[in-house]
Amino acid sequence: MTDGAIPWWRGAAIYQIYPRSFADSNGDGVGDLPGLTAHLDHVARLGVDAIWISPFFASPMKDFGYDVSDYRAVDPLFGTLADFDALIERAHALGLKVIIDQVMSHTSDQHPWFQQSRMDRAGPCADWYVWADPKADGTPPSNWQSVFGGPAWTWDARRRQYYLHNFLAAQPNLNGHNPAVQAALLDVTRFWLERGVDGLRLDAVNFAMHDPLLRDNPPAPDTCRVRTRPFDYQREVYNRSHPDLVGFVEKIRAVTDDYPDRFTVAEVGGSESLDEMQRFTQPPGRLNSAYGFEFLYADALTPDLVERSLAAWPDRPQIGWPSWAFSNHDAPRAVSRWAPPADRAAAARLHALLLISLRGNIFLYQGEELGLPQAAIPFDQLRDPEAIANWPLTLGRDGARTPMPWRREAPGTGFSTGAPWLPITAEHAALAVDRQEDDPDSQLALTRRLLALRRERPALRLGAMTVTASDGPILAFERAHGNASLLCVFNLGGEPVAWSPADADAWTVIEAVNGAALGGLPAYGGLIAERRA
């Protein structure tokens, strides 16, 4: 706990690390745990409270670690359990909490549980996955579609049944209704909590429990957006988020409550995500927080988007605590979605200022502190199965997963002495850590300064939020905590705007980007001002 009864995670800044692409210690071109540990000083100097590490568990890597074949083992590609223990020790010594992914909705088809389940309808794991007989004509039991394209059902000749997979066919869905499955997953949770992890991010948790009646999903309304997957043509009503899932969420929380100061955050995507997030985080006995894809999949950053997203999480006793991310490993980098190339440096500064001003927890994705744009990856170098399947209609995920550029002139920009698993672009090399480290005007320096401001000002970390202006490209809101009040103002557009609060004389600017001032906001200008005593 910090500040008396306030837990450390409330209002925390959390840095996401995609371990394949952070730092490689052995020259094989893939990042690993020892490389991550060796670079934790960089993360600590940012001033974040915690790191979240994407999966490093044993896996065939069909979905780069989100297809787990052994929940209790580190994949040799990333190191060993001893390497993970060393990582925990170093992170804690630097004052960083450690959050890991738990993938509770599906496993790899190479997991021993699935191997047993597919071989015997009467064995001990027979009902650990979602199996169903075909319809009379041999077709799948429902119309459910996979996130990655095509039916969410695959025929298995061993059992002469279909199995459900909301993602790749190599990622069969666990049967979250089965008490034995729940018990096994909770045991895995205890395993990592015992090793000292401080929190869990629950990956795609809303896919952990389906409708046992296997009813067809209804069609989704046409929003006039390009739909690249059959999945986009349905409302995902029955293939996920069965009402009983809340009971399992409460069990997860009960386990983490057995360990002091632990944190749980759910990833919840899809068209029904807001309702699901609020059910999963309803106080007092459910998850601590949740985040969705309001910003991650948004094509444009607008005042209306920010206002609507934050308004959905009012400060009320029965509403949970939100988390926010502009970029992550599953979405094209925000600066490339929200600004044209010529404006991206300025936009990155504004995005950083806005993110640290939001009520809730904030997630920074590795490279965001450098202002990295989405990397352009040629088709013949793509690795992401979703990007390959949907080429060229989506940017895919590879362009957000390219290795961290540490030193511009070093081989592999300091990420690896071998050939990196994804290419590192010249645009990223020019923004390498060593190029920004000693530059007080760099995105890296600004990120450190802004995170320090959020840490030092309870109004930013914990305060109430009230929108005071949402006109055209201008967004303004106040953050208040105790006797302190801060005014946060942003010009989200590419043209300068003359704007000033009615009581401009009552405020003193304490931080500004891109030349912003009370009375005049340049393109992508933003500021934070403090009310004078």
Tens of pLDDT along 503-525?
999 999 999 999 999 999 999 99
Active site residue 203: yes
User: What would the pLDDT profile of 160-198 be if each residue is shown by its tens digit?
Assistant: 999 999 999 999 999 999 999 999 999 999 999 999 999
Does the pLDDT at position 327 exceed 80?
Answer: yes
Whether the bond into 317 is cis, omega within 30 of 0: no
pLDDT per position as a tens digit, 231-256: 989 999 999 999 999 999 999 999 99
Sheet holding 464-471, edge to edge: 464-471, 474-481, 484-491, 526-531, 507-513
| Confidence band, pLDDT 50/70/90 cuts, at residue 3 | very low
pLDDT tens for residues 55-106? 999 999 999 999 999 999 999 999 999 999 999 999 999 999 999 999 999 9
Q: Which two tokens stand for residue 274?
A: 């807001």
Consecutive H or E run containing 475 = strand 474-481
According to DSSP, residue 465 is labeled E
218 SS3 class? coil
Q: Is 232 a catalytic residue?
A: no
State percent of the chain over pLDDT 70.
Answer: 99
User: What pTM did the predictor assign?
Assistant: 0.96
Please write the tens of the pLDDT for every residue from 295-304.
999 999 999 9
**pLDDT interval class at 385 (50, 70, 90):** confident
Residues with Cβ within 8 Å of residue 159, at least 6 apart in sequence = 118, 119, 121, 131
Residue 359 tokens, joined = 């009520």
CATH 2.60.40.1180 domain range(s) in the chain = 464-531
Amino acid at 435: R
Name the token pair of 155: 């025929």
User: Any idea which architecture 464-531 has in CATH?
Assistant: Sandwich (2.60)
Residue 375: pLDDT band (50, 70, 90) is: very high
Residue-level pLDDT at 395 = 64
CA dist., res. 67 & res. 110, Å (int): 9
Q: Which two tokens stand for residue 360?
A: 């809730």
Where in the chain are all domains bearing CATH 3.20.20.80?
A: 13-104+179-453
Q: Does position 2 have pLDDT exceeding 70, yes or no? A: no
Rounded distance between C-alpha atoms, residue 43 and residue 98, angstroms:
12
Residue 14: the pLDDT is 98
- Categorize the per-residue pLDDT at 478 as very low, low, confident or very high, splitting at 50, 70 and 90: very high
Q: Distance of CA 37 to CAs 86, 93, 141, 168, 417, Å? A: 8, 11, 47, 31, 17
Residues 301 and 354: their CA atoms lie apart, in Å, by 11
User: Rounded to whole angstroms, how far apart are CA atoms 300 and 306?
Assistant: 11
Q: Give domain 13-104+179-453's CATH superfamily.
A: Glycosidases (3.20.20.80)
Question: What is the overall mean pLDDT for the chain?
Answer: 95
The predicted structure's pLDDT at residue 523: 98
**Cα torsion at 25, 31, 37, 40 (round to 10°)?**
120
User: Is the pLDDT at 1 greater than 50, yes or no?
Assistant: no
pLDDT at 198: 98
Spatial neighbors of 265 by CB under 8 A, at least 6 apart, are 99, 199, 200, 201, 202, 287, 288, 289, 290, 291, 323, 361
Give Cα separations from 157 to 46, 120, 134, 472, 476 (angstroms): 52, 12, 12, 58, 59
State pLDDT tens for residues 332-363. Answer: 999 999 999 999 999 999 999 999 999 999 99
Among the listed residues 75, 83, 109, 267, the single catalytic one is 267
Q: In the structure, what pLDDT confidence band is assigned to residue 227 with cuts at 50, 70 and 90?
A: confident
**Catalytic one among 32, 63, 203, 511?**
203
Residue 226 has pLDDT above 90, yes or no: no
**Contact indicator for 184, 249 with CB cutoff of 8 Å:** no
Which segments within 125-203 are labelled E, that is strand?
131-132, 153-156, 161-164, 199-203
